[in-house]
Amino acid sequence: MLLAHEERSRRSPVGAGLHTAMSGGDVARRVSTLLNNELHADVVFRVGETSFSAHRCLITCASEPMRAMLGEGFKEGTTSSGGGGPTSGEVEIHGIEADVFFEFLRWVYTGEAFVTSENAVALLEVANMYDAPPLKLACGRVVVAHLARDNCVMLLETGRRFEEATLVAAASEVGGKKLSESCVLKKSELCVFE
């Protein structure tokens, strides 16, 4: 987008010339180059044996729980460490596979993630944990697309756990009305019929 000299000079004390504005795609492309890039990174996520460099300003804009976690009130928000724990600016992530966490980071930096039938449920859990509704929706769509009679019980409970009404409805439809009325989650996390 180009603004004529006259309009530019009315908006800014800067002198003559044309003003150019980058398109949203250009901005997104530039931000995406920072994905797992140490350049100006101020936080490192350790997921098992894998480390991911990140930028607090981007992470906290995308996720309210991350904003709280990386704030000054939590140990992750501190800048020093002792006792063999994470070093300065490091955050340990537990209970998530590294490739799944990387897809969450990809979504933060690019607005896109590779959601497959293999990672959709795990990524749905991460999207729910870190309050990422667009990612949660995308994962739900992939899960629904791969519903079958042999996985509908597990996916019904997944939908209920993450309050995904579309997934609950789809799993109930595949499994039948009796399934949605009589499925009970036991301590063993197996659904059984009463």
Kindly state whether residue 59 falls inside one of the protein's structural domains: no
Task: Assess if residue 11 is contained within a domain.
Answer: yes
72 within a domain of the structure (yes/no): no
pTM score over 0.85? no
Residue at 106 is within a domain: no
In a domain? residue 27: yes
Evaluate whether residue 20 is within a structural domain. yes
Domain containing residue 4: 1-32
pLDDT at 165: 76
Residue 23 lies in a domain: yes
Chain segment 112-163, per-residue pLDDT in tens? 999 998 999 999 999 999 999 999 989 988 888 877 777 777 777 877 887 7
Region 38-53 average pLDDT: 93
**pLDDT at residue 32, as a whole number:** 85
Residue 135 burial (CB count, 10 A): 26
pLDDT of 176:
66
Distance CA 34, CA 37 (A): 5
* Region 59-71 average pLDDT: 91
Q: Is the confidence at residue 60, as pLDDT, over 80?
A: yes
Q: Is 5 inside any structural domain? A: yes
Identify the pLDDT of residue 95: 94
Closest CA to 46 of 72, 84, 14: 84
**CA-to-CA distance for 67 and 10, rounded, in angstroms?**
38
Block residue for tokens 């997934």: 167
Number of separate domains in the chain: 1
